[in-house]
Amino acid sequence: MRKILVILGALITCASAFSQEVITELQTNSVMLRSKPVIDASLLKNARSTVEAPVTLPFLDDFSDRDIFPSSERWQDRFAFINTDYPVNPPNLGVATLDAINDKGEIYPDAVPGPAVFQADALTSRLIRLDSVFSPVARKITTADSIYLSFYYQPQGRGNAPELTDLLELDFGVYTGDSVFVRVDSTIYTIDKNYYPGDSLLLPCSLPGDPVWISVNPYLILHGGQYSLIPGDQSTLPCDSVFEPEVDWDIIWAATGQKLDTNFYVKDNPLSYFRRVMIPVVNEKWLRSDFRFRFRNYVSLADNSLPSWQSNADHWNIDLVYLNINRTVHDTTFKILSFVDRPPSMIKQYESMPYSQYMSDPTNMMKDSIEMVITNLDTLIHNTSYRYVLYDQNLIPLDTCLRGNWDISPVYQSGYLDYLDFAKPPVCFGFFPVEYKKDSAIFRIAHYLTTGSGSYEGLNDTLWATQFFGNYFAYDDGTAEAGYGLTPEGSQLAYRFTLKEPDTLRAIQMYFNETRTGANQEQFYLGVWKDDNGVPGERKYLQEVKKPVFTKTINQFHTYVLDTAIAIASTFYIGWIQTTDDNLNIGFDRHNQSQQYLFYNTTGEWTQSIQNGAVMMRPVVGKSLTEKEPAPAEQNQKYLVVYPNPAQTGTIHLRLPVELNDLALFDHLTLQVLNLTGQLVFEGSYSSELNIDPLSEGMYFVILRGTNPAQYFTGKLMIIR
């Protein structure tokens, strides 16, 4: 990153002779920012292992959970980003990405300009019972049990390459000293006896307020003070105390930064994009019930010579973290048969578009086929069937594409599956909804793998995708892996879009990445151009924008409404004209490729972009944005009311749609709860109350079904622990 920016500095200094388009890394994580309305990140930052009981072996995480944070069942903190956007050819669906972004989706406040490095993300396990196993019988673990911790890692991925001075580090840790058991006697906390490290105790407060969980240890940090506790001692501790036992950490392994495409992987071998690490646990000091491990990264940003390019950097992707006994250095296989990457859009050219534009030529708007990546991490061949199903937004099935059966060989022998009916299945249907508005419609597509070989650990056999039709065209998928910019002053960018039928351009949506000091908040002009034989032609619109608007809401794009609506017949271009040399740093999606539609002009001539990706800029068309949708009639309301929402623990309540309120009995109604991957986590007869304690944190769909197909109602539930 620093070397790139030094070169850019020279280019800008000689702006009259040199000009170019530039890719930078992110200052913020828009996905994490979008989570803030439902998750208080300030609470997440203070998450402590002291509230969790230790977990037992085996410890395995393939990061396939459809959540942006690490699972609280296995991990203590939430600084890493769980995603499918950053990795290149991972061994399994989903990775944990470490970078310079914290749990609030923003760059760390203590980040410093390069070349200095600073410690950024951490991925810390919960306490692990490495002293004992409990199946098939309970017994003590010894160093003779051949204990290994393994994981896969990748520098850069689709993000920024770590510098040679940057590090990915693995640490082992245990609590300091011997642990004790604490019991409460009013506000007097009396040390009773020695106990196992990591044990927890609920201390009820003597003052009004919630109970406090602590994990006892002779060293408890209380408001900056340290208390050394031994049996028989007493301490009066206030109700709002925060307890954090000290941990003794040792550095076990580290990797220095490098680029993904230089000396890291073997060309044309997808399995070599991630490297496997096997760490033997041979020191008895770790064989305790309070053992834990953590990954940390050390990051360097660009220096202060070009503040508008100073942003996030140094990405590391981690996958398949596995700790267990009875392993060897050659223990490299997993009972995992899964999809590896998210499914692509089935629409030609666009990720999303207005439904009226799609319906003007639906047959030619669909791709002939899509590319799916499937892997078998086992040592055995598994006969597997594959199908994908189209659902409407209420998860009512509309159509199915059956692709038959195939023997999937181990990935170590044959690589990712290349059988065309599975790896490149044809698109069997179009998007034809039961109900829709003129511009919008929502569909869900589920891809299923089914094998008769029994259950798997972490079997990612169902993969969900959403096809959204709105009032805009989008080449990007809504997630920025980097930023895009131009230099020098006066540079122009134009993005080509083509209509199937005449329409009206109403606005332009843009997503801008913030820089560390806000140095990209500069004036620019929005522009609209006609087409001239495949390149931008006459400019037909210009509008001043004082500075980029940074959004931190669920809709990450900001909509710049045009002062004058523009009639569009077919092909047109939207873009901007710069007023300074500074990088505007618009979001750049590296997962999708649309550079053939992107043009820039820094010398008086339009040039097609050479950057692989999609700029996050979208034209909004259709009716006026000030027109309001008519309110739905009360009797046609199709949604369950779920409250409280978000919820934490205990019981939630369900309010039936109005059309069911007159029914005397609800015995014919079935209640279902699905997680974001479509997995059924609860099913039973309808009740107005539901206990959510068995459910883990995350987003859920609540579905009510009747014997009449028209009786189908849905709601959403967010659980926050």
User: How far is the C-alpha of 189 from the C-alpha of 184, rounded, in Å?
Assistant: 5
473: left (phi over 0), alpha (psi -120 to 50) or beta: beta
> 336 in helix, strand or coil?
coil
Question: How many C-beta neighbours within 10 Å does residue 575 have?
Answer: 25
User: How far is the C-alpha of 636 from the C-alpha of 433, rounded, in Å?
Assistant: 18
Structural contact between residues 506 and 620, judged by C-beta atoms closer than 8 angstroms: yes
Contacts of 633 (CB under 8 A, 6+ apart): none
Residues 331-340 have pLDDT tens digits of 888 888 889 9
pLDDT average, residue stretch 515-522 = 61
- CA 379 and chain centroid, separation: 30
Specify the pLDDT at position 207.
38
- The dihedral over CA atoms of 69, 75, 80, 83, expressed in degrees to the nearest 10, equals -50
Specify the pLDDT at position 513.
77
Specify the pLDDT at position 203.
42
Domains 355-469 and 635-719 share a fold: yes
- For residue 710 the two structure tokens come to 């028209």
User: How far is the C-alpha of 519 from the C-alpha of 308, rounded, in Å?
Assistant: 5
User: How far is the C-alpha of 144 from the C-alpha of 388, rounded, in Å?
Assistant: 47
Residue 230 pLDDT > 80, yes or no? no
pLDDT average, residue stretch 308-328 = 86
Q: Look at residues 1, 81, 594 and name the one whose alpha carbon lies nearest to residue 309.
A: 1
Tell me which of 97-101, 108-112, 183-187, 685-689 is least confident: 183-187
Contacts of 703 (CB under 8 A, 6+ apart): 394, 395, 671, 672, 673, 674, 712, 713, 714
CA-to-CA dists, residue 597 to 176, 608, 616, angstroms:
59, 8, 13
Looking at CATH, the fold of the domain delimited by 635-719 is given as: Immunoglobulin-like (2.60.40)
Question: How many C-beta neighbours within 10 Å does residue 192 have?
Answer: 15
Structural contact between residues 340 and 373, judged by C-beta atoms closer than 8 angstroms: yes
> 2 in helix, strand or coil?
helix
Could you tell me which CATH number the domain at 35-169+256-280+297-324 has?
2.60.120
Residue 710 pLDDT > 70, yes or no? no
Specify the pLDDT at position 167.
95
Q: Look at residues 120, 107, 87 and name the one whose alpha carbon lies nearest to residue 26.
A: 107
pTM over 0.75: no
Q: Look at residues 429, 310, 421 and name the one whose alpha carbon lies nearest to residue 372.
A: 421
Question: How many C-beta neighbours within 10 Å does residue 55 have?
Answer: 16
Could you tell me which CATH number the domain at 355-469 has?
2.60.40
Buried b (16+ CB within 10 A) or exposed e, 488-499: bbbbbbbbbbeb
- Maximum CA pair distance of the chain? 88
Question: In the chain, what are the domain boundaries?
Answer: 35-169+256-280+297-324, 180-245, 355-469, 635-719
Sole residue written with tokens 């749609």: 657
Residues 37-60 have pLDDT tens digits of 222 222 222 323 333 578 999 999
- Amino acid occupying residue 92: N
Question: How many C-beta neighbours within 10 Å does residue 369 have?
Answer: 16
- For residue 664 the two structure tokens come to 């005397």
Question: How many C-beta neighbours within 10 Å does residue 19 have?
Answer: 21
Structural contact between residues 167 and 253, judged by C-beta atoms closer than 8 angstroms: no
Strongest mean pLDDT among 361-365, 430-434, 653-657: 361-365
Q: Look at residues 466, 585, 604 and name the one whose alpha carbon lies nearest to residue 522.
A: 585
For residues 664 and 504, the model is more confident at 504
Q: pLDDT band for position 636 (50/70/90)?
A: very low
User: How far is the C-alpha of 99 from the C-alpha of 121, rounded, in Å?
Assistant: 6
Residue 139 pLDDT > 70, yes or no? yes
Structural contact between residues 41 and 105, judged by C-beta atoms closer than 8 angstroms: yes
Q: pLDDT band for position 223 (50/70/90)?
A: very low
Structural contact between residues 54 and 127, judged by C-beta atoms closer than 8 angstroms: yes
- 3-state SS string for 629-666: CCCCCHHHCCECEEECCCECCCEEEEECCHHHCCCCCC
Beta strands in 125-233 (DSSP E): 132-133, 139-140, 148-155, 167-175, 180-185, 188-194, 200-203, 212-215, 219-222, 225-228
| Residues pairing with 684 in the sheet | 671
Tell me which of 43-52, 231-240, 391-400 is least confident: 43-52
User: How far is the C-alpha of 326 from the C-alpha of 51, rounded, in Å?
Assistant: 30
Question: How many C-beta neighbours within 10 Å does residue 271 have?
Answer: 16
Handedness of CA 280, 286, 290, 293 (dihedral sign): negative
